[in-house]
Amino acid sequence: MNSNTTVTPAASPETPQLQGRQRINSIDMMRGLVMLIMLLDHVRERFFLHMQVSDPMDLSTTNWALFISRFAAHFCAPVFVFLTGVSAWLYANRGYGEPRSAREFLIKRGLFLIALEVLVINVSWMGNYHTLWLQVIWVIGLSMLALAALIKLPILWMALLGLLIVFGHNLLSPIHFTPDEWGYSLWTILHDRGYLIAEGELKLKISYPVLPWIGVILLGYVAGPVFGRGSDTGLRQQKLILLGLGCIVLFGLLRGFNLYGETLPWQFGDTLGQTLMSVFNLTKYPPSLSFLLVTLGGMFYGLVVFERYFATGCVLGWMGQRLAVFGSVPMFFYILHLYVLLLLYSLAKWVFGANHGELFGVAHMGGVWLISLVLIPLLYYPVRWFSRYKGQSQQAWLKYL
């Protein structure tokens, strides 16, 4: 395989033949990488919850191992929302025949994801319903519905609107509503993380406010032509490198001088490590401009690295193939790993008992890393099976997974 080729039939021994459909390997590899990072973060949520982190993190109680693990997880949501926008453009512009509208697919899949969040994913966290947490799958579904509503706009307008939201939403941070005010529910969904229903048998909390993510998915859709069928590989990589460089330089200027884009100014610490943690201690709920510049900038560079170096037959190619398997069926992996972690945690607590108050947990982040490394190869095989099954099946419902 040519190392500069991105769009190829997914037909290696580790990825299924897609019967004429084509996948972009670097995108699947990037998705696969963030899925594994997400696995690490969710293992932490299960087995290290007694050392829960705040947003932004409390650096007085967060050590380096915990900080780096949590910071790595920051890349997951931006990568997935942005690449969802890219995928929507690719769906509409297959490279053969007339372009088709992605609106119907976005509406159906957006509603499907919201239903999954409520009916399937929520129960995987606690094993029951006492609080309905509307998290990343919910926000991807809502973002898809927003993209469907705006998809007929000229591409320039979509780009300007996406940039306005991403760069401007931090200006809205001073706006707050109390639960008894008329705008509270809408503002909680759009911008301020909080409870929609705080009392009663079933509480409802918005963990991922949607407004900034609408900007991200719009920019992903606008970037779709960079990955279009027949696009020049060298030119694509140049554009991605420039985008990544622009994000990192802008982050350095805005964050370095505490000008704009983050609610918590960084401060000098007693050591270089403490200072760096303060600089990169960024707000995720909702994602600040600084948060998005770092994560999307890193994603742009990652896509170039995967395309250049992970498509060959060497060790990197072997790793890239396996990352692409995880990235080819991300929703299946997402649901599978949550229920596996629920089962493992329940079993561990039953066998060993609670050792941190009402919780069971490991003593150090090293235990979290070890559990994650053991789970990766174990989860690979059912994910590979489902990837092959989905690639060979003609059942229409499978495309929503």
355 lies in a domain?
yes
What is the separation of C-alpha 353 from the centre of its chain, rounded to a whole number of angstroms? 33
pLDDT value for 97? 63
Cα end-to-end span (Å), the chain: 28
Average pLDDT, the chain: 90
Residue 40 within a domain: yes
Backbone angles phi, psi at 206, to 5 degrees: -90, 105
Residues 105, 111: Cα–Cα separation, whole Å: 10
In a domain, 12, yes or no: no
Cis geometry, peptide bond prior to residue 225 (ω within 30 degrees of 0)? no
pLDDT tens readout for residues 77-108? 999 999 999 999 999 987 666 778 899 999 99
pLDDT class of 23 with cuts at 50, 70, 90 = low
How many residues comprise the chain? Answer: 401
Model pLDDT for residues 204-223, shown as the tens digit of each residue: 999 999 999 999 999 999 99
pTM: 0.91
Q: Quote the number of domains for the chain.
A: 1
Mean pLDDT value across residues 284-310: 95
Q: Residue 207: inside a domain, yes or no?
A: yes
Token output for 302:
């990652």
Cβ–Cβ < 8 Å for 247, 20: no
325: nearest Cα among 371, 373, 374, 390: 390
Is residue 116 within 8 Å of 78, Cβ to Cβ? no
- 17 found inside a domain: no
> From CA 212, how far away is CA 165, in angstroms rounded?
6
Residue pair 321/14 in contact (Cβ under 8 Å)? The answer is yes
Q: Nearest 5°: phi and psi at 195?
A: -85, 130
Asked if residue 5 has pLDDT above 70, the reply is no
Provide the percentage of residues in the chain whose pLDDT is more than 70.
93
Banded pLDDT at 65 (limits 50, 70, 90): very high
pLDDT at position 95 is 66
Residue 202 binned pLDDT confidence (cut-offs 50, 70, 90): confident
Integer Cα distance of 276 and 154 in angstroms: 41
d(C-alpha 243, C-alpha 259), whole Å:
21
Least confident of 130-134, 135-139, 187-191, 288-292: 130-134
Q: Please indicate, yes or no, if residue 11 is contained in any of the structural domains.
A: no
Long-range contacts of 10-17 (CB under 8 A, 24+ apart): 10/324, 10/328, 10/391, 12/321, 14/321, 14/322, 14/324, 14/325, 14/384, 15/321, 15/324, 15/325, 15/328, 15/387, 15/391, 16/328, 16/387, 16/388, 16/389, 16/390, 16/391, 16/392, 17/391, 17/392
Task: Identify whether 332 is part of a domain.
Answer: yes
Residue 35: pLDDT band with limits 50, 70, 90 = very high
Band (pLDDT 50/70/90 cuts) for residue 8 is very low
* Residue 24: predicted pLDDT: 79
Would the pLDDT of 391 be above 70?
yes
Average of per-residue pLDDT across 376-401: 88
Q: Over the Cα atoms of the chain, what is R_g?
A: 21
Interatomic CA distance for residues 340 and 330, integer angstroms: 15
pLDDT of residue 152: 93
User: Which range marks the domain in which residue 245 is found?
Assistant: 29-45+63-399
Whose CA is closest to 320, among 310, 309, 333?
310
Q: What are the two backbone dihedrals, phi and then psi, of residue 356, each rounded to the nearest 5 degrees?
A: -135, 80
13-17, 173-177, 322-326, 329-333, range with the lowest pLDDT:
13-17
Could you tell me which residue, 12 or 233, shows the higher pLDDT? 233
Going by pLDDT thresholds of 50, 70 and 90, the confidence category of residue 10 is very low
Residue from 55, 32, 56 nearest 310 by CA = 32
Q: Which of 46-55, 152-161, 388-397 has the highest mean pLDDT?
A: 152-161
Mean pLDDT of the region 66-75: 96
Would residue 121 count as lying in a domain? Answer: yes
Calculate mean pLDDT across residues 293-298.
98
